[in-house]
Amino acid sequence: VSYDHMDVLGGTLDQIAREKAGIIRTEGAVVSAPQSPEPRAAIIDVCARHRAQLWLVDEVMRWQALDATLYEQVFELAGPWGDYGRLRLPLVGAHQLTNAATAVAAAEVLAGRGVILRDGAIRRGLAAVRWPARVEVVGERPYIVVDVAHNPASLGALRQALETMFAGRRIILVYGMVATHDHRACTSLIAPLADVVIATTPQHVKPLPARTLAEEAARYAAQVEVIDDRHAAVGRALALARPDDVVVITGSFFLVGDVLEQLKSTQSIRSTQSAPSA
């Protein structure tokens, strides 16, 4: 639970958590990922009012990262239902291990309520996960990372992942947001990591103007450019990037979704050009 869709859900974490907790039913089962104190207290309160059984993942599950590449990670997981040993997850970032532990706990709770969970299903299910545009590396030389992060919590997770995966590398950020999201808090998290920020405008009914985003980014990054056209912004980032640099495209589902086809086409052309002749 984090600050997102505040125009609908409310202006405080307590309000947002209680609005989301509206799905909780009397004597139901609730599995909660780790939360900050305010939403955690709200979830506990709503569960108590509805006599719902609550599993707090950070209390009942234990996990530890073992190994990671740019495309997947291996970790150990255990909980009240057993020790799952070494598991493979084709997602990156510490936050995805938390998500995986939460998903496993939810599956086990459902199994306790009659849903069939076959032997090996958890191991196979985690190994088969596909979650596009979540710290997804879609190209190399330069590295190209796409992530649909658009609120402070998700951009904080992206920053942590980038710092771990690409420590010391030059980062070129293509950045566009929707006007209804907190661009100041988001920018304070991601822009300091960038050597170059290219602000652009997503295709949306309420886009945040690229120049507004650039003005905020200029507080944190030495080089900031404004290119309203998102495809031109990606092209500019790729032109600036050296082979070992990292181009990061983030800030909005609408931005990332729109440029993915462009990126696939570009990478296909590059692969063809670099392939050895027969």
Cβ atoms of 175 and 251 closer than 8 Å: yes
Quick: pLDDT tens for 188-208.
999 999 999 999 999 999 999
State the amino acid at position 246 in one-letter form.
Answer: V
| pLDDT at site 262 | 82
> Given this model, what pLDDT does residue 278 score?
34
Phi then psi for residue 11, to 5 deg, are -95, -5
How much of the chain, in percent, has pLDDT values that exceed 90?
Answer: 89
pLDDT band of residue 3 (cuts 50, 70, 90) is confident
Give the model's pLDDT for residue 269. Answer: 39
Q: Is the confidence at residue 117, as pLDDT, over 70?
A: yes
275 pLDDT more than 50: no
Q: Which two tokens stand for residue 71?
A: 């495309």
- Please state the pTM of the whole predicted model: 0.89
**pLDDT, position 174:** 98
Which of 128, 136, 57 shows the shortest CA–CA distance to 97?
57
Q: How far is CA 61 from the centre of its chain?
A: 21
Quick: pLDDT tens for 100-111: 999 999 999 999
User: Averaged over 52-78, what is the pLDDT?
Assistant: 97
Write out the H or E segment, with its range, that includes residue 196: strand 196-199
Rounded mean pLDDT, 58-70: 97
Contact 207, 178 (CB under 8 A): yes
Amino acid at 40: R
Closest CA to 140 of 255, 265, 60, 245: 245
Q: What is the pLDDT of residues 249-267, one digit of tens each?
A: 999 999 999 999 888 776 6
Over the stretch 211-231, which tens digit does the pLDDT of each residue have? 999 999 999 999 999 999 999
Q: Mean pLDDT for the chain?
A: 93
Q: Identify the pLDDT of residue 164.
A: 95
Q: For the purposes of burial, counting CB atoms within 10 Å of the CB of 161, is it exposed (0-12), middle (13-18) or buried (19 or more)?
A: buried
Alpha-carbon distances, residue 95 vs 8, 25, 102, 236 (angstroms):
25, 27, 11, 30
Query: Do 266 and 247 contact (CB within 8 A), yes or no?
Result: no
Domains of the chain: 6-127 (3.40.1190.10), 136-274 (3.90.190.20)
- 224, β-bridge pairs: 197
**Chain-centre distance for alpha carbon 140:** 20
Task: Give the pLDDT band of residue 272 (cuts 50, 70, 90).
Answer: very low
Identity of the residue numbered 141: R
Interhelix angle 152-165/183-190, nearest 10 degrees = 10
Longest distance between any two alpha carbons in the chain, whole Å:
70
pLDDT (0 to 100) of residue 5 = 79
What is the pLDDT averaged over residues 54-81?
Answer: 97
- For residue 271, the model assigns a pLDDT of 40
Both tokens assigned to 252:
């909005």
